[in-house]
Amino acid sequence: MLTVNGLVLMQRTLGEQDRFIDILTADHGVLEVLVKGAGKLNSKTGSATQLFTYSELCLNDKRNGVRILNSVTPLSVFYGLRSSVSAIALASYFSQVIRYAVLPRSGAPEILQLVLNCLYMLSERRAPETKIKAIFELRIASLLGFMPDVIMCRSCGKYLPEQLVFSVSGGYFCCEDCISSPEDETGLIHMPAGTLQAIRFIVLSEPKKIFSFAISERSCKPLYQFAEEFLCYQMERKFPALDHYHSLQQTMLPDT
């Protein structure tokens, strides 16, 4: 028997009443678990193993390569997610990123903590979705070993240029003056100093503090663009849930 705390990242139904779930745990990475009878009406097991629920799960030893759930107690349910389609789309994007990532062998406690914090912020609407999304993207990129180089201008060594250019593929920045009119602007994101400070804050501060920074309207747009492009570039893939999130944003734009 193995007892773990796990966050349900994905579920697939199997036959009439059973389902497989993928859970993210601190010490064992992602585990696949068979939940028998999850689809039965009023099943307690079913509700405690729903998507994005964080629970304590007792798992039977593997039989024929499959772990079967023995019992489960929900710890955090994130009810607030269910009232927002875009929050659900973002949560699905977070879970796709984690499922496609190669998690550290030593376990993923910081990744679990990050996604739980982001789901809490989304569920309780403690911050704008776009900000939570950017924090998740930059922080998880760093935890997966892709931290951007935020120390100084790669060319002249300046710490905080007023205007700078961040390279998505190179993961470094230069002052705008140090870039000698590049012919190809693809993958270069222009930003003010405020955006660089926000990126530094997200990748360098303690896990508990990552949400506590203010950012001006002028500085947010390049932050959001850089965070998304940087993570997708480093992971070398597209995420269907991210496309879905963007299509929801389009339909929610006010008519002009």
The neighbour count for residue 156, using CB atoms within 10 Å, is: 11
In the complex with Zn ion, the residue whose CB is nearer, 76 or 155, is 155
- Maximal C-alpha separation, the chain: 66
Stretch that binds Zn ion, among 37-45, 97-105, 139-147, 156-164 (CB under 5 A): 156-164
Residue with tokens 């405690």: 48
**191 in contact with Zn ion (CB under 5 A):** no
Tokens representing 246? 């963007």
Minimum CB separation of residue 224 from Zn ion in Å reads 24
Q: Which residue among 50, 71, 155, 205 contacts Zn ion (CB under 5 A)? A: 155
Q: Which residue among 58, 156, 160, 204 contacts Zn ion (CB under 5 A)? A: 156
Distance CA 108, CA 117 (A): 14
In the complex with Zn ion, the residue whose CB is nearer, 6 or 194, is 194
Q: Which residue among 178, 215, 232, 241 contacts Zn ion (CB under 5 A)? A: 178
Q: Which residue among 44, 67, 158, 200 contacts Zn ion (CB under 5 A)? A: 158
The neighbour count for residue 50, using CB atoms within 10 Å, is: 17
Minimum CB separation of residue 221 from Zn ion in Å reads 23
Stretch that binds Zn ion, among 15-23, 46-54, 124-132, 157-165 (CB under 5 A): 157-165
Minimum CB separation of residue 129 from Zn ion in Å reads 34
Q: Which residue among 175, 198, 202, 235 contacts Zn ion (CB under 5 A)? A: 175
Tell me, letter by letter, the H, E, C secondary structure of 47-67: HHCCCCCEEEEEECCCECCEE
Minimum CB separation of residue 173 from Zn ion in Å reads 9
Tokens representing 106? 């030593």
Residue with tokens 């850089």: 226
Say which residues have a Cβ less than 8 Å from residue 69's Cβ, sequence separation at least 6.
33, 34, 35, 36, 45, 49, 57, 58, 59, 60
Stretch that binds Zn ion, among 43-51, 88-96, 108-116, 174-182 (CB under 5 A): 174-182
Minimum CB separation of residue 223 from Zn ion in Å reads 20
Residues that bind Zn ion (CB under 5 A): 153, 155-156, 158, 175, 178
